[in-house]
Chains A and B, each alone.
Chain A
Amino acid sequence: MNATHSWNPIRRTSVYHELLELGAVMADSEGWRLPLHFGDAKQESETVRSSVGLTDVSANRKWEIKGVDLESSIRSSSVDAPLPGHVVSTDFGWLCRISHKHALLVSGQDDPTILSHIKNQCSDENCTHLLDRTDGLINLRLSGPRASPLLSKLGAFDLRESAFPDLRCLCGPMAGIQTFLVRRDQYELPGYEVLFSSEYGSYLLDAIAEAGKEFQIRPYGRDATKLLED
């Protein structure tokens, strides 16, 4: 190999081409090529406020934690271990306890503090293991008041406020494929993170878009996200 060659690898999520077809204007960010906007960031944010919007946040780092000593592994960090089906959300991102022995950690940071705590606890002695699933799981986010009715068209999820309030998670089939569904409200709007195996990215995006037609769903990019945060 030419030692002087500098590579510039670009990462694309598994819905990259579908987002391009939807009119995404892409920009590179920390090695990923991600949608900046889809023509009109303001309108995108307004759609999120009034109906439902979809954004691809697959570039977030994701780790799957499996093990019998999950409780202590998580508790040893600064975060209390959530109950199964619950989510803790802090500045590092969020952690969803799928079951007693199974959790999912998602973060915008490459190496959040909590990760090193968990890594320290993961060992064969306590049979707890960590696996980077950033590429394996695509992460779409649905935000807006019509997000729940849209999801109810795709899976048998009880999304009533009483049954699935903010910071809850579950595992279940959506449009025929297995997904992790996390309720994570943002911008004072109902919001859901949908995580699933990346090879289904194009398929499930299409299914969501089709189901969302009656709600005038729109994709939104990082610009609209900033507007919503403001």
Chain B
Amino acid sequence: MDRLDSHPVEVIDRSGRVSFQFDGRTVQAHPGDTVGSALLASGLRIFSRSFKYHRPRGLLCVSGNCPNCLMNVNGVPNVRVCTRPVEEGDQVVPQHCWPSLRWDAMALIEKVDFLLPVGFYYKTLYRARWLWKLAEPIVRRVAGLGRVDSSRSPAGHYEREHLFAEVAVVGGGPAGLAAAQAAAEAGAEVVLVDEQPELGGHLRFERAKLEDPISGETGEGFELARSLAEKVKNNERIRVLSPARAFGGYEGNLIGVALADRLVHLRADRLIVATGSFEFPGLFKNNDLPGIMLGSGVRKLLNLYRLKPGKRAVVVASNDEDLALALELHEAGISVVAAVDQRLESSDSALIRQLKQLQIPHLPCFAPVAARGRSDVRALEVAPVDAEGCLELDKSRSFPCDLVCISTGRSPSVELLRQNGGKVRFDPNLNQNVLDSIPSDFSAAGHINGLKDPALILLQGRIAGLEAAESMHPLGVDLKEQLQKLRDNLDQGRSDWRETVVPSVLFTTSSAVKQLVCLCEDVTRKDIDNAIAEGFDEMELLKRYTTSSMGPCQGRMCSMLVAGSCAQALDRDLTTPGTTTSRPPVHPVPLGVLAGPHHYPVKLTPMHHRHLEAGAHQMDLGEWKRPHTYTSSENEWEAVRKRVGIIDVTTLGKLEVQGRDAPQLLDLIYTHIFSTLKVGRIRYGVICGEDGIIVDDGTVSRIAEDHYYITTTTGNISFIESWMEWWAVVYGYCAHVTNVTGDFAAVNLAGPNARDVLSKLTDIDISSDAFKYMRFEQGEVAGIPSRLLRIGFVGETGWEIHVPSSYGEYLWDTLMEAGEEFGILPFGVETQRILRLEKQHLIVGQDTDALSNPLEAGMQWVVKFEKEDFIGKHFLDLVQSEGRRNRLVGFVTDELVKEGSAVVTAQTPVGRVTSARMSPILNRCVGMAWVPEELAEDGANFDISHHDSLVSAQVHQAPFYDPTGARLRE
């Protein structure tokens, strides 16, 4: 397609060349072209196939609003090529068609559209259920949008950014630019968001002479747009995000903004919405044929890209401003065969006289009835409209053409305002939705308010900018006076400041012919009528039943057409149907942009690199990385039981509790008593919720009268910290709780030779008489200030050694070196699980669940009912008085059973296995299980379901290893 003569309004650089691949062929373009304009220039008419019927679709809005130009660009599906700047080497592929856009075999579906009425999927394919399994893949293949290429590599790199501004302006048209400039002049920090690659909005392709009412600057519209854009870009107080789509308004003045590769959370003290308005199509037979375009889209192609989208055009408009497109087309050498004027009153304006002079037929009180053509428009049939708004079909006329420009319906882009509480209503005088109320902290300027005069739009933008800034930066005298003057000027123009349109939905037509109401979802006028006949006669119901307005345009192209069709079907006026709820996202946002960068927190212990060097197999425990095993659990078990082993237990939650009321706080939190615990002693404790259910367990060491050092389970530390702080506040205790998990590296040195190893490194008397079981000491180990806890989770003589975490690696190295002569081995979580099971030490969360209380878990010895109160006491009192129903017991079996297996008696599941491992010392499987109370006797037998058979198990109440605890105390 030839380009029009060069003109300063154009944005293409004719001296440059860009080439890209489209569907296997090379297409030439100019820098500044979009993929869409370049393809149109190459002669392409059909840009896509529709969602359901595979109808051919061509460029329509050229603004990134409609679904007609979705293509796959460089592996990314559903790219709106009408706004995507072309880049050298782009790979562009049409989507949702087979074998080609021109000849799409799936278009045959339309021949059987009687089988696919509105809501057919609700009515069919559910009976029999197997039918859906057959139908689903076919429906998914035939219908829908582009496909995500999951093999694409790289999948994309996405960023996230949090921006704060005093004033945020959404929309880079004349109103937005004027607002941003004014707010910045008044001292505000401004962020301007615009969805187009270049600032200027509709002024970018405006060639009429204009005067900027603020600067007095005159020139053609596009010149003023460039001048304004330049000022904004050069203003240090303004940050421009472009091309960027403000896709959602959220509470707290938060706007979600999507750029190509990043999501911006934009928060502003004041927000100016200058998002303009958009045209929507007319409603007539075959209203979606390629060649039928919105007037604003045609003007963009003519001016920005200097393209002639057709040779013979019909212009359909409903006011002089839009009708003037006929003159532009004529000037571009396009034959205008008719100017269809939908206004119901005839007019005799200068423009109409000009049309007549140019011998362009002007058809007042006419409206389109049907478009003719198969793969693109070949003629437009129009008919007069009578006084009642009925089309007089018997008087229709047909105009051969290959371009139909529709400029009859317009809606303000109010989604962001509505999502923040703004309201709209249909104004029957203007025949369009208008803003009824604006949320606080927000203002609206420009076309969004229905303004048509660029000078008024600039005025309103500047006023909005100054007013927004004024709330934070008191205006100087000059600006204050200017603001008042601007307000006066705007008021003077107020009498006729909004444009009236006459959308075709106002006319009564038959729904027997195919009129597309929703282009995204292929919903026809007939579908709407049928849905209403079935009782879905509210906008929200219609939306859900017909899926209209649920496609890529999110209602921009169809919501008024649906409302109009609804109103006609119900014989009501257009103020009745209302609108559907506006929800984010307003525009499609790539999931990668929403997901953002990968931030999955990982915790590492100070000895992590030593574990890797030792060949540890790592496992994830919550956010922690922990060694599962280093060599084999058998080797490691042997080291601990027969020599000495070392395990990194840094992951244990650790708390410091300080304050004079710390003892009372712990007595309240734990079921045990800690106010009586002597300094230097350790006591095991269980924490219950108010319902008596076990929440956590661990050791409590008393460092001083008012100072405790507590360990918790690995995963529960944050909760326990908050839990303790909460109760400290509730009771007004002087007790400060600090999570010191990261402060201390900790190891458990355990085994018959543990004392031999430790004694090489410390002066502390660690003999069994001096340092007894469940005692706590502070001193130096290998020159490091250390906390030593004589405890034994794995059932051997041992110490937990807690040191400042910066010494963790040093401590590990030193212990390994000192233990070398005793055959020390590091052991992992898996070995620890075997060792503790042999001692029947439970793990909260593994052996307990949301129904486990300490009495039934066999820990009645930690519940001190003699205390006046503790959390969960009331509930545990009930359990005590009513008796236990279940018990956590140890068991043995001859073969290894799976954790989670059912405990079975009389072929009925009555409990479950919580832990099970093969015990090297017994050479049998040992484990723990919840069983009914009557089975909890030592020696009682029960079965465990295992691989479709039953394994016989025997209750074993005492620890399997060292039942008297002698080794712990050695």
Write the residues of chain A forming the contact surface with B, with a CB cutoff of 8 angstroms. Answer: 1-3, 6-14, 16-17, 32, 58, 64, 66-68, 124, 127, 129, 131, 133-138, 149, 152-153, 155-160, 162-163, 175-177, 197-203, 207, 210-211, 214
In the complex, A10 Cα to B597 Cα: how many Å?
36
| CB-nearest residue of chain B to A32 | B806
In the complex, chain B residues whose CB is within 8 Å of the CB of A152: 161-163
Given the contacts A156-B162, A200-B601, A134 and B804 also touching, CB distance less than 8 Å: yes
Residues in B with CB closer than 8 Å to A201 are 604
Query: Contacts A11-B806, A124-B660, A124-B734 hold; do A135 and B744 have CB atoms under 8 A apart?
Result: yes
With both chains docked as a complex, state the minimum distance between the C-beta of A126 and any C-beta of chain B, in angstroms. 9
Ordered by A's residue number, 8 sampled pairs between the chains whose C-beta atoms are within 8 Å are A3-B763, A14-B742, A68-B734, A177-B601, A197-B741, A199-B605, A199-B805, A200-B602
Beyond A135-B744, A152-B163, 12 additional contacts (C-beta under 8 Å) are A11-B810, A16-B809, A66-B736, A66-B738, A124-B734, A127-B734, A138-B742, A153-B162, A153-B597, A199-B650, A200-B742, A207-B597
> Please, how many angstroms separate the alpha-carbon atoms of A214 and B743 in the complex?
33
Cβ contact within 8 Å between B604 and A176: no
Distance between A179 CB and nearest chain B CB, rounded to angstroms: 11
7 nearest interchain CB pairs?
A7-B783, A136-B743, A11-B806, A124-B660, A127-B734, A135-B804, A199-B603
- B160 CB-CB contact with A under 8 Å: yes
Complex CA–CA separation, A2 to B782 (angstroms): 11
Interchain CA distance A58-B740 in the complex, whole Å: 16
The chain B residue with its CB closest to the CB of A16 is B809
Residues of A within 8 A of B159 (CB): 153, 211, 214
Per a CB cutoff under 8 Å, which of A12, A68, A203 touches B601? A203
Q: Interface digits, B238-274 against A, CB 8 Å rule (1 contact, 0 not)?
A: 0000000000000000000000000001010000000
Q: How far is the CA of A199 from the CA of B900 in the complex (A)?
A: 32
Structural contact, A202 and B805, CB atoms closer than 8 A: no
Interface-forming stretch among B535-543, B754-762, B819-827, B934-942? B754-762
- In the complex, chain B residues whose CB is within 8 Å of the CB of A8: 783
Chain A residues within 8 Å of B875, by CB: none
List of A residues within 8 angstroms of B784 by Cβ: 7, 9
Chain B contact residues, CB within 8 Å of chain A? 159-164, 189, 265, 267, 597, 599-606, 608-609, 624, 650, 656, 658-660, 706, 734, 736, 738-744, 759-763, 782-784, 804-810, 814
Q: Is the Cβ of A203 less than 8 Å from the Cβ of B603?
A: yes
Which DSSP category, helix, strand, loop or mixed, fits chain A's interface? Answer: loop
Are B762 and A199 interface neighbours, CB within 8 A? no
Decide if B741 touches A1 in the complex (CB within 8 Å).
no
**Which residue from chain B places its CB closest to the CB of A153 in the assembled complex?**
B161
Contact A124 B659 (CB under 8 A): yes
Main secondary structure of the interface of B (DSSP, over half): mixed
Measured CB to CB, the closest approach of chain B to A6, in angstroms, equals 8
Instruction: Give, as a whole number of angstroms, the nearest-CB distance from A137 to chain B.
Output: 7
Q: Which residues of B contact A158 (CB under 8 A)?
A: 164, 267
Minimum Cβ distance to chain A for residue B329 (Å): 46
Q: Look across to chain B and name the residue whose beta carbon is closest to the beta carbon of A151.
A: B162
Alpha-carbon distance A176/B602, docked complex (angstroms): 10
Cβ B743 vs Cβ A133 within 8 A: yes
Check A9–B742 contact: CB distance below 8 A: no
Who on chain B is nearest to A6 by CB? B783
Residues of B within 8 A of A124 (CB): 659-660, 706, 734
Chain B residues whose CB sits within 8 angstroms of the CB of A156 once the complex forms: 162, 265, 267
Residues in B neighbouring A207, C-beta threshold 8 A: 597, 599
**Most central of B658, B744, B806 by chain A CB within 10 Å:** B806
Closest Cβ–Cβ distance, residue A122 to chain B (whole Å): 9
A163 pairs with B606, CB closer than 8 A: no
User: Would B601 and A176 count as touching, CB distance under 8 A?
Assistant: yes
Query: In chain A, what residue has the closest Cβ to B605?
Result: A199
Contact A202 B602 (CB under 8 A): yes
Cβ-defined contact, A12 with B658, below 8 A: no
Scoring A6, A7, A137, A214 by chain B CB atoms within 10 A of each residue's CB, the highest score goes to A7
CA distance in complex: A131, B805 (Å): 15
B658 and A129 contact, CB distance less than 8 A: yes
Q: How far is the CA of A122 from the CA of B603 in the complex (A)?
A: 32
Instruction: Give chain A nearest CB distance to B648 CB in angstroms.
Output: 12
- Shortest distance between the CB of A222 and any CB in chain B (Å): 17
B762: chain A residues within 8 A (beta carbon): 1
Point out the residue from A7, A14, A131 that lies within 8 Å of B604, measured CB to CB. Answer: A14
Q: Which of A1, A11, A68 is in CB contact (< 8 Å) with B760?
A: A1
Give chain A nearest CB distance to B88 CB in angstroms: 23
Contacts known (A9-B784, A129-B659, A210-B597); A160 close to B189, Cβ less than 8 A: yes
Q: Provide the residues of chain B in CB contact with A133, threshold 8 Å.
A: 738, 740, 743
Bound Cα distance A17, B609 (Å): 8
Given contacts A1-B761, A131-B658, contact A198 B809 (CB under 8 A): no
Which residues of A lie under 8 Å from residue B606 when comparing CB positions?
A: 12, 14, 198
Q: Chain A residues near B608 (CB, 8 Å)? A: 202
Closest to B783 in A: A7
Which B residues are in CB contact (< 8 Å) with A68? 734
State A67–B661 Cα separation when bound (angstroms).
13
In the complex, A131→B655 CA distance in Å?
A: 12
Q: What chain A residues lie within 8 Å of B659 (beta carbons)?
A: 124, 127, 129
Taking CB atoms, residues of chain B closer than 8 Å to A16 are 809
Tell me the complex Cα distance, A99–B659, Å: 19
Q: Which residues of A contact B743 (CB under 8 A)?
A: 133, 135-136, 198
* Contact yes or no, B761 A131, CB < 8 A: no
Say whether A136 contacts B742, CB under 8 Å.
yes
Q: Does A7 lie within 8 Å of B782, measured CB to CB?
A: yes
Residues from chain A with Cβ under 8 Å of B741 in the complex? 136, 197, 199
Complex Cα gap A13–B609 (Å): 13
A152 to B318, CA, bound (A): 48
Question: Which residue of B600, B660, B805, B810 contacts A136 across the interface (Cβ within 8 Å)?
Answer: B805
Whole-angstrom distance between the alpha carbons of A73 and B743 in the complex? 24
Q: How distant is B107 from chain A, measured CB to nearest CB, in Å?
A: 46
Q: How far is the CB of A220 from the nearest CB of chain B, in Å?
A: 21
B142 to chain A, nearest CB (A): 42
Do B660 and A2 touch (CB < 8 A)?
Answer: no
Q: Which residues of B contact A200 (CB under 8 A)?
A: 601-603, 742
* CB atoms of A2 and B760 under 8 A apart: yes
Q: In the complex, which of the residues A68, A124, A158 has the most CB atoms of chain B within 10 Å of its own CB atom?
A: A124
Q: How far is the CB of A28 from chain B (nearest CB, A)?
A: 12
In the assembled complex, the Cα of A153 lies from the Cα of B159 at a distance in Å of 7
Instruction: List residues of chain B with CB within 8 A of the CB of A10.
Output: 807, 810
- CB <8 Å contact, B602 and A203: yes
Q: How far is the CA of A155 from the CA of B267 in the complex (A)?
A: 13
**Complex: chain B residue closest to A198, CB-CB:** B742
**Cα distance A2–B805 in the bound complex, in angstroms:** 25
* Cβ–Cβ contact B763 & A1, under 8 A: yes
Q: Which residues of A contact B624 (CB under 8 A)?
A: 199
Q: Which of A1, A7, A12, A32 has the most CB of B within 10 A?
A: A1
Report which residue of B599, B602, B782 has the largest number of chain A beta carbons within 10 angstroms of its beta carbon.
B599
Residue of B nearest to A58 (CB): B806
Return chain A residues, CB-CB under 8 Å to B760. Answer: 1-2
Report whether B805 and A14 are in contact in the complex, using a CB–CB cutoff of 8 Å: yes
Are the CB atoms of A175 and B601 closer together than 8 Å?
Answer: yes
CB closest residue in chain B, given A130 = B658
Q: How far apart are the CA atoms of A197 and B600 in the complex, in Å?
A: 15
For A11, list chain B residues within 8 Å (CB): 804, 806-807, 810
Looking at the assembled complex, report how far the CB atom of B155 sits from the nearest CB atom of chain A, in whole angstroms. 16
Q: Which residue of B lies closest to A201 (CB)?
A: B604
Partner of A198, one of B734, B783, B805, B814: B805
B810 close to A160 (CB less than 8 A) = no
Whether A137 contacts B783 by the Cβ 8 Å rule is no
A203 to B599, CA, bound (A): 9
Given the interface pairs A1-B760, A131-B658, the reply to whether A211 lies near B597 with Cβ below 8 Å is: yes
Q: Are A175 and B599 in contact (CB under 8 A)?
A: yes
A200 to B608, CA, bound (A): 12
Residues of chain A with a CB closer than 8 A to B736's CB: 66-67, 127, 129, 131
CA distance A8 to B784 in the complex (A): 9
Determine the distance from Cα of A136 to Cα of B838 in the docked complex, in whole angstroms.
34
